[in-house]
Structure 1
């Protein structure tokens, strides 16, 4: 990480709901989900792997209306001690760590939420070494499981059939909530699609995963797929045409895998959502903006928000 600039990734966020007893569970808004996370005591906003070698924790958090700021840190005990050198002066040294310590990294996140469960939030995430978006998503979902243990009533909904149990109580079902991050497509992706050649496009529907294919329920359908091919010689914008086609098919297919070659012949593949062309959170095609002109040099790790970083990220969000 450079001391004078940072990259910021752009993402959509929505809340997925799952239930073991009901196939169409209610979900909650991103605003409600973040408020549930913030209801955890500060000392409980922490999660570690089974080996105890990687510890993620929220070091700082703030809410301003529907906008949340998070400072997510990661302590990594597996990494080697950092080394510093000044070859011209023939100087080398290693920063030794104490027992139980690990290298610490920080990531600033700004999320504009919505109180409508059908409206996705917008999240800006600082690109940081050791804190990829998949790690951050998994960490937030681990915290949501902790919230369920502390506030189980927030995860219970009345069953829509209105049935009453033998004890006279209205029938209910339990849910699990998960954060899902999807990347905004970069300008480079659309440029590569426009100037290169688009090959196969595979439409995918993952929403039939609960459909059983045998009478015992041991075989189930996990997806259905439709493969198409675009003619690259058609007039007009290929990307505009592709987006329109995918949007028309979105009620039946949730995702599309696009195989293409850039204008210099490099083969690529990207998966997008059919309804809005958002890309996978961990792909290289996520939109990123550079923030710079910091007054003070940036650090690898913080114990509280870096005010300049938050200010510049809020400017991108607004």
Structure 2
């Protein structure tokens, strides 16, 4: 659980893509920028619920508690909350107090502990992504936030269906010769900025395994999306040559050379690496081939600590908390 006077802020890249459920169509250009999409999110939020419940026995409910566009800083500011019924009951007791001061705060099947997470995203592209700052919360990991946002964006595309319809990119026509339209939706993912600790642990440790991966099965000769629907991804194990590592100048440089050359030559999307550090502790990481950054993960991501708040922080707030937002903005 987070401390009451400090927060860890992680540096991420927010990637926005356009997808469709129409088979054999990939690489669609974005119709909407971040601001246009978030304006649609605000419009949707005013009309319908943005709450999403996951799990059946131990439910968790995520919802967008607040969202603002700060044009002065050029950022979108989001507050995402989660109610978690899966956690153990909290027990509070006064230090030095009698046994009577011990209180158990019990949960029920539909009442849980609530946590908040602030996220600040720059509203202009930096290369092919938007810089994002994320208030780290173990109860709201970046993978869960990604899942939540992608579910929201599918709902938005369904609500504003005509806005997300585009002409068939292959110009396929109907019986009357008119070009068909396809439905699209937005999809996001986050890449984490690598911390120096990752490089240090990797260089001082030893590889257990390195695998190139891609979910783009068109790279496989003879692949047919209709005939081979059970296939999910391609994985290529890589042999680790100690001589090549020495020549490259260490584990991290060897891995980056692999990413920049072999992985890109083969049109791979990710590198999965497992290694032991010098304390014999095992680690794994998935790295984006194009950017060299971590995929949808909190671990080994560059971070800063913000503290010195005049009032104690709580596990959850229902509106964007200005003291946290201001300290986060200092690091953009």
| 1:24 aligned to which of 23, 26, 43 | 26
Q: Is the 8 A contact 1:270 1:283 kept in 2?
A: no
Instruction: Tell me what 1:6 maps to.
Output: 7
| 1:152 aligned to which of 141, 161, 170 | 161
User: What is the DSSP-based 3-state SS (H/G/I as helix, E as strand, rest coil) of the residue aligned with 1:259?
Assistant: strand
Instruction: Tell me what 1:76 maps to.
Output: 84
Deviation at 1:36, TM superposition (A): 2.9
TM-score, length-scaled by structure 1: 0.86
In the alignment, the residues of structure 1 paired with residue 111 and residue 105 of structure 2 have an alpha-carbon distance, to the nearest angstrom, of: 12
In the alignment, the residues of structure 2 paired with residue 215 and residue 96 of structure 1 have an alpha-carbon distance, to the nearest angstrom, of: 50
Tell me how large the CA RMSD over aligned residues is: 3.0
In the alignment, the residues of structure 1 paired with residue 225 and residue 196 of structure 2 have an alpha-carbon distance, to the nearest angstrom, of: 48
TM-score, length-scaled by structure 2: 0.83
Instruction: Tell me what 2:130 maps to.
Output: 121
Specify every segment of 5 or more residues in structure 1 that has no aligned partner in the other structure, as ranges: none
User: What is the DSSP-based 3-state SS (H/G/I as helix, E as strand, rest coil) of the residue aligned with 2:93?
Assistant: strand
Deviations, residues 258-297 of structure 1 (Å, cap 9, x unaligned) = 2333223333332211222211323522222211111211
Specify every segment of 5 or more residues in structure 2 that has no aligned partner in the other structure, as ranges: none
Instruction: Tell me what 2:63 maps to.
Output: 57
In the alignment, the residues of structure 2 paired with residue 128 and residue 113 of structure 1 have an alpha-carbon distance, to the nearest angstrom, of: 23
In the alignment, the residues of structure 1 paired with residue 109 and residue 167 of structure 2 have an alpha-carbon distance, to the nearest angstrom, of: 50
CA 1:216–1:277 in 2, change beyond 3 Å: closer, same or farther?
A: closer
| 1:184 maps onto 2:193 in alignment | yes
| 2:38 aligned to which of 34, 38, 47 | 34
CA 1:237–1:95 in 2, change beyond 3 Å: closer, same or farther?
A: closer
Greater shift after overlay, 181-190 or 196-205? 196-205
CA 1:308–1:191 in 2, change beyond 3 Å: closer, same or farther?
A: same
Instruction: Tell me what 1:307 maps to.
Output: 322
In the alignment, the residues of structure 2 paired with residue 44 and residue 215 of structure 1 have an alpha-carbon distance, to the nearest angstrom, of: 35
Greater shift after overlay, 157-166 or 106-115? 157-166
Deviation at 1:106, TM superposition (A): 0.9
